[in-house]
């Protein structure tokens, strides 16, 4: 695995670096790509996807791009020729496989927009990658060729994300169901004139929460002023479910339906 993955600039934005490298390799194959070519590709891709960026694209320092490229060279994944600003890079056969592998085989995570971008990048640039395979047929050992062709079959990652979302939805719906029961417990307890302290103690017994090992629910409520703890119990719990968990459930379910639809349409050979 390349050292480049350790750089902070590659954490959330690694998909843009990797896809940009593949695109630059395909676009400037004859002479190799320059650092500024890769920088443009990364900024263009981030402009398409990352809606939270204030300037509509990543603001990258040249040193970030340089470190990424030098790591590829050091790891034997790319070769470089020329000096200074005219230095040009080209991925080795092993480098093309490794960069594609790192782009495609990513542990499912949020934001899902990044995965949609990966799907697009693989689907859109598959013909160019296959053309590179033909041009460098002698350079690609049979094993590397088979591995790269397998990476271009995107259905497996889609299925992994579908399974991921099914699991996340299952957890969220269990949390919503627990919340409904807690709300009913609070309602019934208030009708019986029980105190907030007693109600919270009962909730803690029946519905342990994720952070209980860090701070018990009873302790958390005991640290609040009484008006605050009463309002959270009587109003906040209901609003949390209505304003956070119900909307999240709808969003995740929509993503799930989109991925299922994509699974039937993406991944075949162009």
Do you find a cis peptide bond into 111, omega within 30 degrees of 0?
Answer: yes
Residue 241 and residue 175: Cα distance in Å, rounded? 9
270 domain-assigned? no
Q: Tell me the residue ranges of DSSP E strands in 32-87.
A: 33-34, 78-81
On whether residue 240 sits in a domain, the answer given is yes
pLDDT at 2: 42
Beta-carbon-side half-sphere exposure of residue 158 (alpha carbons within 13 Å): 24
Tell me the pLDDT of the chain averaged across its residues: 86
Q: Are residues 147 and 13 in the same domain?
A: yes
Identify whether residues 85 and 174 lie together within a single domain: no
Same domain, 148 and 43: yes
Same domain, 8 and 140: yes
Question: Is residue 266 assigned to a domain?
Answer: no
- Answer yes or no: do 134 and 173 share one domain: no
Tell me what pLDDT residue 60 has. 66
Q: Is residue 236 part of a domain?
A: yes
Cα 211 from Cα 266, distance rounded (Å): 40
pTM for the whole thing?
0.79
Assigned domain for 221 exists: yes
Same-domain pairing of 231 and 122 = no
Asked whether residue 146 falls in the same domain as residue 210, the answer is no
pLDDT (tens digit, 9 = 90+) per residue, 106-140? 889 888 888 999 988 888 888 888 877 777 767 77
Cα–Cα distance for residue pair 270/266, rounded to 1 Å: 10
């Amino acid at each position: 695995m390349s050292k480049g993955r350790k750089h902070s600039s590659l954490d959330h934005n690694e998909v843009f670096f990797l896809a940009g490298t593949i695109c630059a390799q395909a676009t400037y194959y004859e002479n190799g790509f320059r650092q500024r070519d890769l920088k443009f590709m990364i900024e263009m891709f981030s402009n398409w996807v990352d809606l939270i960026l204030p300037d509509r694209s990543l603001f990258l320092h040249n040193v970030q791009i340089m470190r990424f490229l030098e790591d590829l060279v050091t790891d034997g994944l790319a070769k470089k020729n020329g000096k200074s600003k005219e230095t040009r890079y080209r991925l080795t056969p092993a480098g093309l496989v490794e960069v594609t592998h790192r782009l495609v085989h990513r542990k499912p995570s949020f934001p899902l927009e990044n995965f949609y971008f990966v799907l697009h990048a693989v689907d859109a640039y598959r013909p160019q990658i296959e053309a590179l395979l033909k041009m460098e047929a002698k350079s690609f050992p049979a094993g590397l060729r088979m591995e790269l062709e397998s990476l271009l079959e995107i259905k497996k990652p889609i299925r992994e994300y579908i399974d991921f979302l099914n699991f996340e939805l299952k957890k969220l719906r269990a949390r919503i169901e627990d919340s409904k029961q807690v709300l009913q417990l609070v309602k019934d307890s208030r009708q019986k004139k029980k105190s907030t302290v007693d109600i919270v103690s009962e909730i803690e017994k029946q519905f342990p929460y994720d952070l209980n090992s860090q701070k018990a629910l009873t302790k958390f409520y005991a640290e609040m002023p009484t008006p605050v703890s009463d309002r959270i119990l009587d109003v906040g719990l209901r609003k949390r479910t209505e304003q956070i968990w119900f909307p999240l459930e709808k969003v995740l379910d929509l993503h799930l339906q989109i991925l299922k639809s994509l699974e039937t349409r993406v991944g075949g050979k162009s």
